[in-house]
Chain A
């Protein structure tokens, strides 16, 4: 390669847009020559990635040119699942869709079920569904990480990942819980690099030691699903050693709030409030009841209170009583977590010594929410990050809460060296919308679908007491299901429970393969027919995707989407924002190349449908379109006056930030600026944001909210106490009887832990089986990628040393994994550095034959496998014969990682993993090698 000359001129012009390989949404420089993408690299100026790029992003060129791209709208001609289609025109496709949708909207809009998967425009798709009038909308958060998001928002107005990040420049100790190469991957990698450079300590708590966990200074190979117990044991130890930040607890949390503890009190478990509803505390100095927010008060953490309704204890007292219980002692906890007592004590020691002996002080005066001046920012340089290993368990919500409790106890949230919010967060749960679900014929929904309930009054039931949503979101079965439950949709549509539907409309969600629990059963439900009529039980399925995924084959009408380089998108503050702790940012995608196929961006198509359906907000009074296309919407749409999808370059002169008039040059300005906009937070507003006047003022100016929203951290989560008070409700609003016990046990307003497994089940299925996402792949997109499938073309089940020896495995062996639900036959490999009771594999490498424009003999389909078959979507019958969803009882988060299996060695001379499915027919050709 004798290229001693400058070859960059051959790389054409650079267009700066946003990556779509994962939810990081890094800035990319796309080199384009003759309308062909020739190279993609990281954008140096972009706040998310600062020039770096991962394997997924760098192979985006093959995502863009994928052989599996759909080329034209399709109408199913064979049976569902055969993969037989005929190509139709867009006019025809839209006509069919509208013919299906008009009667639905006229009569019963709830019969449209619209769920989106890898949707990065949820604020738009949700708005569309709202205008259509169906209550049945959500994206994929319910099977992704709602536990993380909801626990964070409820507890402290923000969570890990999109809502905040460790203070990489100042933290001295970082604890990673259940994090594989996953969300926020490049910022975390950049951050870990910084920590390594500074010599800060990283501790990884994870059953498997790969990726970030392998570079951690210390690895705690915990038993899956027991992190909550470990964390509460740390809480126990820190309390016992008095290593907590009292000033922080007193000033910024609800630990001084007074909780009714008298069981006869109607408001048992609720806070003592004044007539206006403001929580009351006892002033430590005067001993009088005061409002928490009163100027000059010093809330007592310990003093109890009694009145005619009974007695009240502070949250702090309850917390102390609960966690100092010996059941949380490291000695008793360690064996349950598969750890040694010393490991827990050592963690506690590290946390305490770093937080309190290495505390930071930044000399920067600021004013708190009481209007009191403070001279600086105290920092506790311990930071945490947690992800799916925590959230994808059915005790995930409480476990996430436990982690936040630990962060708060040591005073390390939004302080120097700790966890820091990324604007527009923090935003307390009560500043978010409540769920909306009231539908009626021919009209829009009463508000946005998803939100945060404050108590049973916000649950989503129709007047006849049935769940209002098809996924049973926001019901007593999962009251805080803030992201919906996409994983229950197909099953519920199939069974017509809580009601029959007409059309299932899915976007970019591979529900017939790796995005479903119990894939085989899901496929059956997609193809099941009504015994009487012979019609499909799910009458119509519309699906939009860019690629020929396994799910396309099950749809009746396919609307082919563009690739990420051919479309407009906004990475909006109204949606899942990007941004870093010291600045607010948003970004766009724009068509840096034109599609060479007859495809349309899904968002454009939704607007076109909206116009044809004459949906409010999409047409004016003369039924003329309000927006030409999605790009036009991005510029012109206003959620609230002055607030649009894009926060930058607003107003006539394109200089307004956050709030400002609509500008028709906005996108042009984004493009000029490298595809993004960002604005730095003022210095005095950088930390203690929930209570920092300067930040609150700035946040209002920026339009994150319309009035200042200071709040206290919800160590004690009152909405859960309200749910536990269900017996106070009128009978028609009460939960079903079989739920009583569960609500009482699980919806503890203070974080708790429970084992996800019945001991009898553990005896039969003693081994945890989990997946991790490979660093170089994401969902099912990766293994069609010409380059990435050379790195991960097949997967093996990694078996711990103990199991390996016990079962006498050798390299090249195969095993049968059996769960309560099903069994699979897969190749095994030894990995020693993992929890001894655990087996694991890479996620979503296995493919179904015939899909993704891959030859049917590829390794992905023969040897590769997914463990989704083993995971039941419903739990076994309980005492009353009811089968709960395999989800967190509070949020409904799919409990992927609760899987237990047993393993046996089997002969498998065919070297093909099981189960196998019939080969899908394909509307796209198998890819051929690039011509040289």
Chain B
């Protein structure tokens, strides 16, 4: 799949934003956070998720109809995501306002925000996980990875050892995801044979073009990244998103400035992870162009 910057930014930024909101919500529920911090970190979460959403808006080819995306919640994960994120962000705004005016907070709102933002991240992940056409996405690891990436990111500024646990889960999921994505058996059902109506084990190759230049399908869904290149990026991503923050947390526990530094690294790592998430994903349509 084409690693479109607008989509990658969207999943990275809004993922972190909602992750932060969910952590704030959790801490609010557990009364482990000050009212000021609720306002500050909710605002940060709000900004990141909004910027992410705006970025995704730029991915749309016909922006004037974006508002209609809230209409199909019954079947469409993208629609659910739109509704859920708007709903969640409205509550965040309400919560900030309430805390700002009242200088106190309602614990129960925290758990609502925690769940709602997690759900929002889940809907985002399901946009990809639902696609049978991309087997490496079409499994439970996709939502798990998205959720724990968000939680780990969200926790870096606000938690110490809990953050370590979340990072660790994220790290394990990430490696697992890559391991699974590498397994060719993911494509054992779909082959060029089944794509063309033959049996699975056919030796078929395209010898001439259906069209000699790239088109929308090729630009969007047939992206080739060299294996060597991909492995390199995996190392960078894993180091930046996991190893580095993990080590710094262990070395400088509870140091906020170090946390900010770690977060930047983590998000860069997540960016690379998401880039690979798309670039390495093989869409079924690529069989037609093998």
Contact = CB atoms under 8 A, between A and B. Distances in A.
Question: Do A and B interact directly, with beta carbons closer than 8 Å?
Answer: yes
Interface of A: 210, 790-794, 798, 829-833, 859
Contacts of A792: 209, 212
9 contacts: A210-B208, A790-B211, A791-B209, A791-B212, A792-B212, A793-B212, A829-B208, A832-B207, A833-B207
Contacts of A798: 207-208
Contacts, number: 26
B212 A859 contact: yes
A253 B210 CA distance: 48
Tell me which of B207, B211, B213, B215 has the highest count of chain A C-beta atoms within 10 A of its own C-beta. Answer: B207
B111 to A, nearest CB: 44
Closest 5 CB pairs of A and B: A793-B212, A831-B207, A794-B212, A790-B211, A791-B211
Contacts of A859: 212-213
Contacts of A831: 207-208
Nearest to A833: B207
A830 B212 contact: no
Interface in B41-98: none
Interface in B200-232: 207-213, 215
B128 to A, nearest CB: 27
Interface in B234-281: none
Contacts of B209: 791-792
Contacts of A794: 212
B207 A829 contact: yes
A219 to B, nearest CB: 15
B207 A790 contact: no
A833 B205 CA distance: 12
A798 B210 CA distance: 16
Given A794-B212, A798-B207, A829-B208, 11 more contacts: A790-B212, A791-B209, A791-B210, A791-B211, A791-B212, A793-B211, A798-B208, A829-B207, A831-B208, A832-B207, A833-B207
Tell me which of B207, B210, B212 has the highest count of chain A C-beta atoms within 10 A of its own C-beta. Answer: B212
A798 B208 CA distance: 9
A803 to B, nearest CB: 15
A322 B217 CA distance: 60
B51 to A, nearest CB: 32
A116 B177 CA distance: 67
Contacts of B215: 790
Contacts of A829: 207-208
A830 B207 contact: yes
A830 B206 CA distance: 10
Contacts of A832: 207
Nearest to A798: B207
A794 B208 CA distance: 11
A790 B208 CA distance: 13
Contacts of B211: 790-791, 793
A831 B211 CA distance: 17
A696 to B, nearest CB: 48
Contacts of A830: 207
Contacts of B207: 798, 829-833
Nearest to B207: A831
Contacts of A790: 211-213, 215
Contacts of B213: 790, 793, 859
A792 B208 CA distance: 10
Contacts of A791: 209-212
B22 to A, nearest CB: 40
A793 to B, nearest CB: 4
Nearest to A845: B212
A661 to B, nearest CB: 54
A372 B237 CA distance: 93
A847 B211 CA distance: 18
Nearest to A834: B207
A832 B203 CA distance: 12
B255 to A, nearest CB: 52
A830 B209 CA distance: 12
Interface string B124-163: 0000000000000000000000000000000000000000
Nearest to A794: B212
Contacts of B208: 210, 798, 829, 831
Contacts of B212: 790-794, 859
Nearest to A830: B207
A581 to B, nearest CB: 34
A275 B71 CA distance: 98
A791 B211 CA distance: 4
A859 B207 CA distance: 19
Nearest to A864: B212
B201 to A, nearest CB: 18
A470 to B, nearest CB: 40
A920 to B, nearest CB: 23
B130 to A, nearest CB: 25
A829 B212 CA distance: 13
A630 B211 CA distance: 40
A207 to B, nearest CB: 15
Nearest to A790: B211
A85 B79 CA distance: 60
Contacts of A210: 208
Interface string B171-215: 000000000000000000000000000000000000111111101
A704 B211 CA distance: 46
A833 B215 CA distance: 27
Nearest to A789: B212
A859 B213 CA distance: 9
Contacts of B210: 791
